[in-house]
Structure formats: structure tokens, C-alpha cells
Chain A
């Protein structure tokens, strides 16, 4: 047991080392969300009448945070597909290490990268007027919630990365699925304008429940959601927790199994 913990820590450390060895990757990974903050803040921020204290940026930040951590799935999938392609996974599999070490190490490593990304985004947000008003404990919980969501999404990425085996395919596949998911939600605009059926979809969408939960935790009224008044939109924190538990409970065992049998 202790041995498996040390195994996955070695894999996690590998990812942290990568960040140090090629800082460009992390820099670009942070510039992109920071750019999103600025673009949305100044492009949509002027057009959308937010109706909350402090303006659109209060609603926007939770949206962008969730979108960014949802894309942890992409980082995991692409990273693992690259390792598959280079034969590194084969080498790991020929080592006397626990069967889950490589995939757990990867998901934890990707989550640690999120810590850096979230800090940078939070600072940029603060510079352009984001002022969470719920007090330090709830703000901290909000970020913890975001990291946990990123972590559970990361497990879907494990399965995708090990299944497609090729970096570029993984990238395209992930972008095609995660982008619509983040826009068919309450992240950036009110769901009121959507057809009723899409409103239901948007309210059950884990991205929406996460955004609503974070707005609650950061102290902003979620006036973009709950137009269809579904249960998830009424109980976003609980629903988000259920989603996270479900994601990990479903995808972690499948992914570990996939890893063990990846070349059969």
C-alpha cells in the first residue's frame, strides 16, 4: 500500500518536473484562460446586462473557472495519448509498480497544474473587478470545489487518452465534446433565451451545476440559471457533488482496467 503511494507520487513528480523543464507549457496553459477572462469581461461584459452588484465579471469568473477545470480532461487525455504513442506507457507497464500508479499520478499531477492556473486566473479576475464577497472560508471551498471537479473530469480524460492512443485525435475529440458542454450551460449567458428543451439540458449539465455552485460559494446570485427550475438548478452544490462522485466511481475503475489491458 505504502509502495503504491510512493509509485504514484513519483509519476506526479514527473509532471511537476515537466512544468519546470518546459515552463512555456504552463505559461500558455495560463495565458489562455487569462485571455478568456479579459475577452469575455470586455466583449460580453458590455453587452450583457448582468443585474448583479459588481457587474458581469462576478457571474463570468465562476463560469470561466469551471470551463477551465473542465478542460483538465483534455490535458489528461492528450498527455496520456502522447505517453502511449511514445511507448512510455509500455515501459511503465513493464515495471513492478502498482497497476493504478500511472493513472492516479497523472490525474493528481493535472490537478496540481490546475492550482497554478486557478491562482493566475483569480488574480487576473481580481484586476478586472472580480470581488468574491462570501468570506475566505467559502472562497477557499469554492476553489477546492473547482479542483475536485477538475480531478473527476480528469478520469474521463484517462479513458480517452488510453483509448485513442494518439495525441492529435485525443485533442480533437476532447475539444469537440467539452466546448459545447461548457457553452450549453449558464456559464457565460442566461439560459432564458434557449429553447425549453435546451434549458433542461443546460440545467442538468454538470458544468451548469458547478457554475451555479461556485457562484453560490463566491457570493454572487446565480441569475443566469434556474429558468427551467429543475432540481439540479435548485440544489447545485449537492448535485455537483453527486456528479463528481459518479464520474470518479464510473471512470476510475474503467480507466484502471483499461490501463492494465491497454495492449491486449
Chain B
């Protein structure tokens, strides 16, 4: 069963001159994770806002958990959880205050909302910080609490809008761990991100969007292959460049690119780590010890250049009528 279906969503701003969504369609199978990947201004947030009933599209239709988003927004709100780009919490209140407040707003009774707040604080390792105001929390803690708040009634469908944007690497890893856990619990998740790595890690399938449309769909591997797969890169001593290049060519089958200035040899490889091991063996046999060796995976930029023919430019934030731009502090 499809948990999320969006068909031909169109949303324009400024009397039609700015198209945030330009006929966007997508589907998410129940219990799976779809990563919505795209640069700023591609329409990711607008898509989430439409599906989460915050925004009415100019045209198009959508259902979430089988409920029509435009006709029965109140019913949709009962089964979704939303955690946005910015931790939407009351900063002056404590973590505990926030969770019990949202629990009450989800119509749990007083006792149930307290119990649920306790569970969630425990689950997200925030019990120690429960009685501290949110403004004393780190970025990662805020995001975790924000996520906790969206899980109060165990939503059928969860929307996470750039859950790790702005977090430091540690915060990002923690957040990934938390989301992994959720996904194991069987929730249907629509996640937006600017990072291919993140979509790769968390999503079952990925939809790449640009200028308000889905321009490619597939698993992370499929997309990467479309971009051209991985490249092997090694750095060796100057006097070994010629010999190493031959060995790399032997494994890759293609003529390697050599940058003599930084002594780097690179070539496309089809079966990633196996090729890496093979090259290492050959180098070892030839008594060449590379200074650096690795597989370079395609970046979001690579995907974008390949799919759209242009660099992932940072479009002025048109999403939500330019609202995000002012929200950033």
C-alpha cells in the first residue's frame, strides 16, 4: 500500500512568477523511507508543508495514510508527525514542559502525556536535560527533542525536513542513529536532505528534486551508477607515477587521469572495494606504497551536474514565501 501519494502538485508565489512546485509527483510505500534530495529552493520544504497540511497547493492532489490532504486535513493531522528544519519548540520552557504540552495538544490526558514525555526523553537520551530550558540545549539536543515531539502519538507517517542541517558531525551521527531506530519500528518516513550521504544512509529510495519537480528516482546505488559510479584515487611518489598508472589501468580498464602536480592518479571503477583491494595487491607486489588511496563516491554536486546539467545553485529561498530566509538566525 502507498502511504504517501502526491500527484502533480503545483505551488506558485508572487502571482505565479516563482514556481516552488512545478507538477511534483511522488509515492512512498508503507513502512519505507523516501529521501527527498535537492538543493535549497528545489521545493523540498514546500512539498513537506503541503503533505503536512500547512500549505494548500494551487493544483494537484495528495493523500497521506490514505486520507485526502486537501479534503480532510484534520484527519491527516491525527496520523502524522512533523519535524522541521528549525527546532520548533518553546525555548523558554523545559524539555519536559514542551513534551507534556504537545502531548496534551495531541489529546492525551494528563497522566498519559507525562508518561509519554518520560518515555521519549529516555529514548532520546534527554532525561538529564528534561528540567532545563530548551535555550540551554545544544543544536543536536534541540533536534532530538523536536523529533521526540513529533512522535508523541506514534504517527503512521513521519515528515522530517532536513533533520541534520546545521548540526555538527557528532550531532548528525546521533540523529542518524535515532532515525535508524525509528525506521526499524516500521514508520513510513519522508525525509528531505541536501546530503546524498544522508539519503544514502537513511533512505530506501531517493527522489531527486530540482526546480519543483522530481527529476530522478531510484535507490542510492542506482543514482550513483547513473552519475558514473565510483572513482579510485591514489597518490604516490613522483618516480612511481608511471608504473602505478599502468597498474590502475589494468584494474579499471579505462585510461586513468593523472595529475602530476599533486601526484594523483584517478580512474573509474565498477565494483568499488573489490577494485580497491585488487589495486592494493598489485601495488604491493610492485613494492609501491601509496601515500593515499581511496574510493571517491559521487557527491550531490556530481548527481546534480549529471542530472540537470547545472551546478546545484543556491536559489534564493522561495520556499514558504521567503519565510525561511527570515527564520534563519
- B65-101: CB near A (< 8 Å → 1, else 0) gives 0000000001001101010111111111110010001
Judging by beta carbons under 8 Å apart, are A3 and B107 in contact?
yes
Bound-complex Cα distance A93 to B77 (A): 9
Judging by beta carbons under 8 Å apart, are A94 and B54 in contact?
yes
Residue A6 lies at the interface, judged by CB distance under 8 Å to chain B: yes
Which of chain A's residues have a CB closer than 8 A to the CB of B326? 85, 165-166
Judging by beta carbons under 8 Å apart, are B86 and A86 in contact?
yes
Which of chain B's residues have a CB closer than 8 A to the CB of A242? none
Q: If the complex has contacts A85-B327, A165-B323, A263-B54, are A96 and B106 also in contact, measured as CB distance less than 8 A?
A: yes
Bound-complex Cα distance A223 to B148 (A): 60
Give the contacting residue for B52; candidates A3, A21, A86, A94; CB below 8 A: A94
Which of chain A's residues have a CB closer than 8 A to the CB of B323? 165, 263
Q: Chain B nearest CB: distance from A77 CB in Å?
A: 16
Give the contacting residue for B82; candidates A10, A85, A94; CB below 8 A: A94
Q: Considering only CB atoms and an 8 Å cut-off, how many residues of chain A contact the other chain? A: 26
Q: If the complex has contacts A14-B90, A85-B326, A96-B78, are A7 and B105 also in contact, measured as CB distance less than 8 A?
A: yes
Judging by beta carbons under 8 Å apart, are A10 and B88 in contact?
no
Bound-complex Cα distance A7 to B101 (A): 10
Judging by beta carbons under 8 Å apart, are B106 and A18 in contact?
no
Judging by beta carbons under 8 Å apart, are A263 and B53 in contact?
no
Which of chain A's residues have a CB closer than 8 A to the CB of B321? 263
Q: Chain B nearest CB: distance from A18 CB in Å?
A: 5
Judging by beta carbons under 8 Å apart, are A97 and B92 in contact?
no
Q: If the complex has contacts A21-B92, A85-B326, A165-B326, are A10 and B104 also in contact, measured as CB distance less than 8 A?
A: yes
Q: If the complex has contacts A21-B94, A263-B49, are A88 and B327 also in contact, measured as CB distance less than 8 A?
A: no
**Range of interface residues on chain B?**
35 or more
- A15-55: CB near B (< 8 Å → 1, else 0) gives 00110011000000000000000000000000000000000
Which of chain B's residues have a CB closer than 8 A to the CB of A96? 74, 77-78, 106-107
A-B contacts, CB under 8 A, total: 80
Which of chain A's residues have a CB closer than 8 A to the CB of B90? 14, 18, 88
Nearest neighbor of B81 in chain A, beta-carbon distance: A94
Nearest neighbor of B57 in chain A, beta-carbon distance: A264
Which of chain B's residues have a CB closer than 8 A to the CB of A95? 77, 102, 105-106
Which of chain B's residues have a CB closer than 8 A to the CB of A91? 82, 84, 88, 102, 149
Q: If the complex has contacts A10-B105, A264-B55, are A87 and B97 also in contact, measured as CB distance less than 8 A?
A: no
Bound-complex Cα distance A88 to B86 (A): 9
Residue B56 lies at the interface, judged by CB distance under 8 Å to chain A: yes
Bound-complex Cα distance A15 to B54 (A): 24
Residue A201 lies at the interface, judged by CB distance under 8 Å to chain B: no
In chain B, positions 7-53 with a C-beta closer than 8 Å to chain A are 49, 52-53
Bound-complex Cα distance A93 to B326 (A): 19
Which of chain B's residues have a CB closer than 8 A to the CB of A93? 53-54
Q: Chain A nearest CB: distance from B68 CB in Å?
A: 16
Q: Chain A nearest CB: distance from B69 CB in Å?
A: 12
Q: Chain B nearest CB: distance from A263 CB in Å?
A: 5
Residue A92 lies at the interface, judged by CB distance under 8 Å to chain B: yes
Which of chain A's residues have a CB closer than 8 A to the CB of B54? 90, 93-94, 263
Q: Chain A nearest CB: distance from B142 CB in Å?
A: 11
Which of chain B's residues have a CB closer than 8 A to the CB of A263? 49, 54-55, 320-321, 323
Q: If the complex has contacts A10-B101, A85-B327, A87-B327, are A94 and B80 also in contact, measured as CB distance less than 8 A?
A: yes
Which of chain A's residues have a CB closer than 8 A to the CB of B149? 91
Which of chain A's residues have a CB closer than 8 A to the CB of B86? 86-87
Nearest neighbor of A3 in chain B, beta-carbon distance: B107
Q: Chain A nearest CB: distance from B64 CB in Å?
A: 11
- A217-260: CB near B (< 8 Å → 1, else 0) gives 00000000000000000000000000000000000000000000
Which of chain A's residues have a CB closer than 8 A to the CB of B80? 94
Judging by beta carbons under 8 Å apart, are A88 and B89 in contact?
yes
Q: Chain A nearest CB: distance from B201 CB in Å?
A: 25
Which of chain A's residues have a CB closer than 8 A to the CB of B91? 86
Bound-complex Cα distance A6 to B106 (A): 11
Give the contacting residue for A86; candidates B56, B78, B88, B107; CB below 8 A: B88
Bound-complex Cα distance A97 to B92 (A): 22
Give the contacting residue for A22; candidates B53, B77, B92, B327; CB below 8 A: B92
Residue B133 lies at the interface, judged by CB distance under 8 Å to chain A: yes
Bound-complex Cα distance A97 to B53 (A): 13
Judging by beta carbons under 8 Å apart, are A86 and B327 in contact?
yes
Which of chain B's residues have a CB closer than 8 A to the CB of A21? 92-94, 97, 133
- The listed residue with most B CB atoms (<10 A of its CB), out of A14, A96, A264, is A96
Q: If the complex has contacts A14-B93, A263-B55, are A90 and B105 also in contact, measured as CB distance less than 8 A?
A: no
Bound-complex Cα distance A17 to B84 (A): 24
Bound-complex Cα distance A166 to B102 (A): 24
Contacts from B to A (Cβ < 8 Å): 49, 52-56, 74, 77-78, 80, 82, 84-94, 97, 101-102, 104-107, 133, 149, 320-321, 323, 326-327
18 A-B contacts (beta carbon < 8 Å): A10-B105, A13-B101, A14-B93, A18-B90, A22-B92, A85-B327, A86-B89, A87-B84, A87-B87, A88-B88, A88-B89, A93-B54, A94-B54, A94-B77, A95-B102, A95-B106, A97-B105, A263-B321
4 interchain residue pairs of minimum CB distance = A87-B88, A91-B88, A96-B77, A10-B104
Apart from A85-B326, A87-B85, what 7 extra A-B contacts exist at CB < 8 Å? A10-B104, A87-B84, A87-B327, A93-B53, A93-B54, A94-B53, A263-B323
